[in-house]
Amino acid sequence: MPAADAFPIASSPRSRVLRTGNQACRPRSGEGGLLELYEKYLGQDGGCWPDVEPVVVRRHGRAASPRYLQERQPKLLWRKLLAGPGQQGFPTAGLHVWQLACTIAAFFPTPAHPASHAQASKQASSLVPFQAISLPPPPAMSVLITGASGFVGQTLARALLSLPSPPALILADLHTPPNPLALDSGIYADVQCIAADLTDPATCVSLLSRKPAAVYILHGIMSSGSEADLELGLKVNFDSVRSLLDAVRRQGPGTKVVFTSSCAVYGRAAVTNVANEVNVVPMPESSYGTQKLMIEGLVNDYSRRGLIDGRVVRLPTVFVRAGAPTAAASSFVSGIVREPVNGEEAILPVDASLGIWLVSPQTLAKNLIHAMNVPAEKFGHFRTVLLPGYTASSREILDALEKVAGKEVRSRVREERDETVQRIVLSWPAKYDTSRAKALGFSEDVGLEQTIRDFIEREKSKAS
């Protein structure tokens, strides 16, 4: 087996089409990345292998990944494949740049034209991370994330991929989730993005057939949406989650399951108290909170029975969410920062003095990963934990926004009361005791001003 890190990555401009079997095709979504890398990294003038044309090896109608070939067909992986006179092909998924780079390096132990070796090496030296690449072993585990198109799902996926040994990811949502793996990120990982209707029990069974070691259940209809449409809320927030839990317990008993619940489970009775997981009885005053609480009960019971290894995390309001507003009653909390920072007007629909429990996206992602890693025995029989956050009113948020971004930005927010949103927010406690979370090793947050600064920096980096 050749050592892949010995060779530069080089090729020719003639690779304009993919050849699959006897058919040639123009690059499309996914496989287009194969050609982009092939043309960019393999040298335009006198590359090492000027007559090479790519061949995609297929498995069940889809491109087979190097990981699959490494595990199931090692002889094929390391054997040169003839693709025509004077040509050599190689198997690749055509899905991730790193896989293509590894496979090219593995298939060409020596340059076809030694005279061009120095030039190719010079080109390759500037192409980090492709200048010295070797085929990594398959990931030790895979993680399924439902609701992966959403802001939290994408944030969590990126955080998992940034780990020293990133897991393989199965990202599922009603529509195919974006792949968070940037082509130039230098991260080597296996990411599958799947369109999946989780209200269909058969779909849940299909997802679990991939044998993930851990499942993050993030999908759902948000608070305002659940209140507006009871049937839809029940179908998505309860029925589909139960189907997924049942698929886990039948196909992968003992699998770790992290379910994201909400402070909406508490209700107004807890508002005058400092809420926690143990001493305050949840009495939700919204359909969303009720649906979350019902699933909490299932996760705890299935864990008690040993059917799953469940962890329920009650989330603070995520602040600041990038992207479009959601149907959550708390959507305005991010909106009164996000829209003004981007030059747009925002509406504050509640009393500016109402306190809200907040967490930054980065801290939330860190704590979601930690939730997967906490040993089951540390949770005990009760698997619910309230994640750390901090309390801030809309007025305090706007004061921090003005301090960080200026008066003009703050002036883009106007008050316009929405009684439905006000009623829902009033049912959420604003003060919490997170001593259980801290004892379990969860991280505390960075605070208002730093969170706003981080958001503005991310927006600037996206624009540049």
User: pLDDT by residue (tens digit) across 343-352?
Assistant: 999 999 999 9
DSSP at 86: T
Given a cut of 80, is residue 117 above it in pLDDT? no
User: What is the C-alpha to C-alpha distance for residues 166 and 137, in angstroms, rounded to an integer?
Assistant: 11
Phi/psi of residue 257, nearest 5 degrees: -130, 120
Q: CA-based angle 91:93:99, to the nearest 5? A: 85
pLDDT value of residue 330: 86
Q: How many CB atoms lie within 10 A of CB 195?
A: 12
Whether 432 is catalytic is no
Given a cut of 70, is residue 52 above it in pLDDT? no
Given a cut of 70, is residue 8 above it in pLDDT? no
| Average pLDDT of span 375-402 | 94
pLDDT value of residue 443: 94
| Average pLDDT of span 239-254 | 96
Kind and range of the H or E run holding 40: helix 32-41
End-to-end CA distance of the chain: 43
Give the residue extent of every domain in the chain: 4-125, 142-463
On the 0-12 / 13-18 / 19+ scale of CB atoms within 10 A, 371 is buried
Lowest-confidence region among 118-122, 141-145, 437-441: 118-122
pLDDT value of residue 126: 35
Q: Is residue 25 helix, strand or coil?
A: strand
On the 0-12 / 13-18 / 19+ scale of CB atoms within 10 A, 448 is buried
Lowest-confidence region among 123-127, 140-144, 356-360: 123-127
User: What is the C-alpha to C-alpha distance for residues 310 and 435, in angstroms, rounded to an integer?
Assistant: 20
pLDDT value of residue 210: 82
User: What is the C-alpha to C-alpha distance for residues 255 and 253, in angstroms, rounded to an integer?
Assistant: 6
pLDDT value of residue 21: 30
Higher per-residue confidence, 85 vs 172: 172
Sign of CA dihedral 397, 402, 405, 410: positive
- CA–CA distances in Å: residue 123 to residues 43, 107, 116: 8, 19, 11
pLDDT value of residue 139: 56
User: What is the C-alpha to C-alpha distance for residues 152 and 315, in angstroms, rounded to an integer?
Assistant: 11
- What's the pLDDT band for 437 if we cut at 50, 70, 90? very high
Q: Which long-range contacts (CB under 8 A, 24 or more apart) does 99-102 make?
A: 99/65, 99/66, 99/67, 100/33, 100/34, 100/37, 100/38, 101/9, 101/37, 101/41, 101/130, 101/133, 102/4, 102/66, 102/133, 102/134, 102/135, 102/136, 102/188
CB 217 within 8 A of CB 147: yes
- Closest to 124 in 3D by CA, of 36, 40, 33, 31: 40
User: What is the C-alpha to C-alpha distance for residues 133 and 123, in angstroms, rounded to an integer?
Assistant: 15
- CA–CA distances in Å: residue 315 to residues 173, 201, 275, 368, 426: 20, 26, 13, 10, 17
User: pLDDT by residue (tens digit) across 325-372?
Assistant: 877 788 899 999 999 999 999 999 999 998 898 999 999 999 999 999
- What's the pLDDT band for 16 if we cut at 50, 70, 90? very low
pLDDT value of residue 188: 52
At 256, list the tokens: 């770790």
| Average pLDDT of span 202-206 | 95
At 450, list the tokens: 């730093």
Residue with tokens 């008993």: 253
What is the four-CA torsion angle of 200, 211, 371, 245, rounded to 10 degrees? 30
User: pLDDT by residue (tens digit) across 272-292?
Assistant: 678 888 888 889 989 999 999
CB 252 within 8 A of CB 302: no
CB 48 within 8 A of CB 56: no
| Average pLDDT of span 194-206 | 95
Helix axes 448-463, 331-341, angle to 10 degrees: 50
- What's the pLDDT band for 14 if we cut at 50, 70, 90? very low
User: pLDDT by residue (tens digit) across 80-107?
Assistant: 222 333 333 333 333 333 344 434 433 3
Given a cut of 70, is residue 72 above it in pLDDT? no
- What's the pLDDT band for 189 if we cut at 50, 70, 90? low
User: What is the C-alpha to C-alpha distance for residues 363 and 111, in angstroms, rounded to an integer?
Assistant: 47
Higher per-residue confidence, 262 vs 463: 262
Question: What mean pLDDT value characterizes the chain?
Answer: 74
Query: What CATH number should be reported for the domain whose range is 142-463?
Result: 3.40.50.720
How many helices (H) does the chain have, and how many strands (E)?
A: 19, 18
Phi/psi of residue 35, nearest 5 degrees: -70, -40
At 270, list the tokens: 């807890």
Instruction: Given the residues 288, 302, 390, 432, select the one marked as catalytic.
Output: 288
pLDDT value of residue 182: 57
CB 145 within 8 A of CB 197: no
On the 0-12 / 13-18 / 19+ scale of CB atoms within 10 A, 426 is middle
pLDDT value of residue 141: 83
pLDDT value of residue 168: 87
Q: Is residue 232 helix, strand or coil?
A: helix
Strand blocks (E) in 383-433: 384-386, 390-393, 413-415
Phi/psi of residue 174, nearest 5 degrees: -60, -40
Given a cut of 80, is residue 202 above it in pLDDT? yes
